[in-house]
């Protein structure tokens, strides 16, 4: 917490703040004893609510990844106890927390599935207290590693993980694109939503990053690839330009994750998912380092359970549970590799190569056009004449009344 500033201009304000905090803790303790909830669950949820308020007010100049998208990505990469999980641009630690909660839920699923319940987004979740022993806490404390170049984000991320039961979180103030970072081939799982825009000074770029560019959205994906162990899996959110731009560096990056990894999935995300913070069109890439790409599974997400406007109100329509189910079943697709008029389908690597490694879903999806049958012009003109005659008759009646 070096250089942190805490200002209370009046003693009465400090007293009021402490009283409010104590009231909150009394409510948390009451809910924990009477409702059977984990203390860390509620305490952490309160903190996440405060983080969302900070973000929506624009006080930190950054936007957070929605929790339901984090849950989706955790389901896709399925982190396991004992694996090392990282985020090279972690912000408030949302992805690390998502992986943490997935692991605990998975442990409950294996030990006592009756304690699982569906949350508001359709994902299974269990109370942390159901499985959180001291031995588990010690193991989990060393499993999650985050980095960020914003000291405020580092503080918020550390507090976020501590509020959820990770007593010794590891989030470092570090630029993972710079020469000072050298932790390649260290991690089993990486989940990230790195910065979409910006450039880094050419002289500061780490020697291990070979792409001919200074664009951070490209360099971060290469950084994630380098950070993975052989056999490690990543889920990363990228802007649409990364998957379809024809520039040399863009194509080189796509070639890297197709030729040097197994690109498992490309999930097209509607542009409203990050509103009200940003309206960019994005995609989720899932790839495993060292694997071999044979076919790539595409999914056209059309609804995420919330309205795609600035209000982002909850709605019943959501593709997220379907995405998880279809992703797990993708290897059993028929020899035809799926109907390309549907939401999801497979595309062979050969076709991707022929299209300069283009990963834009619309390049491969087949649109269905329904034939419209219109009446003959003579019939339409006849109907118009009847309407015109009726109008003229009505006008004549009005003139008689004047």
CB burial readout 117-144, b (16+ within 10 A) else e = eeeebebbbbbbebbbeeebeeebeebb
Pick the CATH number of 62-364 from 3.40.462.10, 3.40.50.150, 3.40.50.80, 3.40.50.300: 3.40.50.150
Considering only 55-59, 109-113, 195-199, 381-385, which range has the smallest mean pLDDT?
55-59
Break the chain down into helix, strand, coil percent, rounded to 5: 45, 20, 35
Report residue 60 CA to chain centroid gap: 19
pLDDT digits (tens, 9 = 90+) for 319-331: 999 999 999 988 7
pLDDT computed for residue 61 by the predictor: 40
With CA atoms as reference, report the closest residue to 33 among 126, 129, 176, 141. 129
Q: Contact, 345 vs 362, CB < 8 A?
A: no
Q: Residues of the chain with pLDDT > 90: what percent?
A: 42
- Residues above pLDDT 70, as percent of the chain: 87
Question: Which position has the higher pLDDT, 1 or 286?
Answer: 286
Q: pLDDT tens digits, residue range 287-317?
A: 999 988 999 999 999 989 888 887 888 888 8
Neighbours of 185 (CB within 10 A): 11
Q: Is 58's pLDDT higher than 50?
A: no
Residue 9 in 3-state DSSP?
Answer: coil
pLDDT at 275 over 80: no
Stronger pLDDT, 192 or 50, i.e. the higher one:
192
- Say which residue, 65 or 62, is predicted with more confidence: 65
pTM of the predicted model, to two decimals? 0.82
Mean pLDDT over the full length of the chain: 85
Q: Which residue would you say has higher pLDDT here, 84 or 313?
A: 84
Residue 105 has pLDDT above 50, yes or no: yes
Burial class from Cβ neighbours inside 10 Å (0-12, 13-18, 19+) for residue 400 reads exposed
pLDDT tens for each residue of 342-391: 889 999 999 999 999 999 999 998 876 677 778 888 888 888 989 998 99
Q: How confident is the model at residue 35 (pLDDT cuts 50, 70, 90)?
A: low
Q: What is the model's pLDDT at position 222?
A: 96
Model pLDDT, residue 367: 75
- The pLDDT score that the predictor gives to residue 156 is 85
pLDDT of residue 100: 92
DSSP label at residue 215: B
- Kindly list the domain boundaries of the chain, sorted by start residue: 62-364
78: left (phi > 0), else alpha (psi -120 to 50), else beta? left
Query: Mean pLDDT throughout 118-140?
Result: 78
- Residue 17's CB: how many other CB atoms inside 10 A? 11
Exposed/middle/buried for residue 308 (C-beta within 10 Å: 0-12, 13-18, 19+): middle
Region 91-109: mean pLDDT is 90
Average pLDDT over residues 61-83: 86
Output phi, psi for 335, to 5 deg: -60, -25
Is the Cα dihedral 104, 106, 112, 118 positive or negative? positive
């Amino acid at each position: 917490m070096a250089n942190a500033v805490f200002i209370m201009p009046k003693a009465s304000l400090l007293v009021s703040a402490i009283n409010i905090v104590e009231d909150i803790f009394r409510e948390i303790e009451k809910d924990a004893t009477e409702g059977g909830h984990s203390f860390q669950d509620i305490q952490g949820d309160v903190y996440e609510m405060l983080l969302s308020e900070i973000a929506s007010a624009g006080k930190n100049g950054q936007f957070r990844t929605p929790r339901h998208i984090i849950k989706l990505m955790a389901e896709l990469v399925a982190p396991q106890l004992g694996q090392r999980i990282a985020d090279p641009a972690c912000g408030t630690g949302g992805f690390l927390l998502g992986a943490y909660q997935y692991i605990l839920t998975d442990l409950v699923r294996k030990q006592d599935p009756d304690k699982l319940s569906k949350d508001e987004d359709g994902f299974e979740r269990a109370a942390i207290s159901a499985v959180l022993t001291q031995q588990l806490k010690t193991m989990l404390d060393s499993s999650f590693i985050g980095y960020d170049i914003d000291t405020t984000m580092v503080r918020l991320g550390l507090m976020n993980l501590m509020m959820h039961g990770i007593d010794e979180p590891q989030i470092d103030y570090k630029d993972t694109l710079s020469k000072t970072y050298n932790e390649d081939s260290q991690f089993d799982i990486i989940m990230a939503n790195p910065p979409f825009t910006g450039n880094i000074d050419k002289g500061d770029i780490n020697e291990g990053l070979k792409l001919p560019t200074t664009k951070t959205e490209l360099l971060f994906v290469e950084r994630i690839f380098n950070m993975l162990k052989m056999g490690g899996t990543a889920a990363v959110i990228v802007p649409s330009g990364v998957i379809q731009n024809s520039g040399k560096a863009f194509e080189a990056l796509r070639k890297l994750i197709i030729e040097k990894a197994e690109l498992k999935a490309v999930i097209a995300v509607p542009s409203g998912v990050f509103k009200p913070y940003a309206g960019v069109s994005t995609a989720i890439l899932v790839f495993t380092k060292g694997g071999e790409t044979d076919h790539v599974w595409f999914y056209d997400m059309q609804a995420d359970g919330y309205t795609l406007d600035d209000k982002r109100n909850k709605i019943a329509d959501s593709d997220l549970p379907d995405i998880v189910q279809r992703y797990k079943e993708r290897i059993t697709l028929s020899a035809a590799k799926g109907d390309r008029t549907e939401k999801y389908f497979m595309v062979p690597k050969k076709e991707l190569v022929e299209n300069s490694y283009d990963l834009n879903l619309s390049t491969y999806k087949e649109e269905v056009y329904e034939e419209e049958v219109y009446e003959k012009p003579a019939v339409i003109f006849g109907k118009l004449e009847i309407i015109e005659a009726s109008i003229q008759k009505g006008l004549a009646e009005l003139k008689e009344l004047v």
